[in-house]
Structure 1
Amino acid sequence: MDEKEEWSVRAKLFTPEIKKLRLEIKACENIRNRSFDKDIERITQKKIKQRDAR
C-alpha cells in the first residue's frame, strides 16, 4: 500500500466516531437554542409586565 492509501484507510476508521460526534453536537445546539429562546421569551415577558405596571 502506498502512503495515500494507508492514510485513506486510517481516515475511514474515524468516520463512525465523527458521525456520532456530529449528532451529539447537533443535539447540543438544539438544546441550547431551545433554552435561549425560552430565556428571551422570559425576559420579554418580564419587560412587558414592568412596562404595564407603570
Structure 2
Amino acid sequence: MANKSNMSGCFNVLNWSCLEWFINLYLIPSSLNLILPKKDKAIYPFVPGKIGVYNRMFD
C-alpha cells in the first residue's frame, strides 16, 4: 500500500456490492456513472474523463 505521495501504488479493493452500498449510503447520483478500476491497475493515473474518489475520504 502506497502513501498519499505515491498514488501509483494504490489499487482498488472494492467489489460492485461495496460500491453500490457506498453509493446508496452517500446518495451519490447514478448520473455520475461511477466505475471501479480493475484490481490489477493502479488507481493513478486516473481514467481519462473520470475523477478519482477514494472512499477513505468519507471516513
- Structure number with higher helix proportion: 1
Largest Rg, 1 or 2:
1
Asked whether the two chains share a fold, i.e. TM above 0.5, the reply is: no
Q: Specify the TM-score bucket, using the shorter chain as the normaliser.
A: under 0.3
Normalising by structure 1, we get a TM-score of 0.24
Normalising by structure 2, we get a TM-score of 0.22
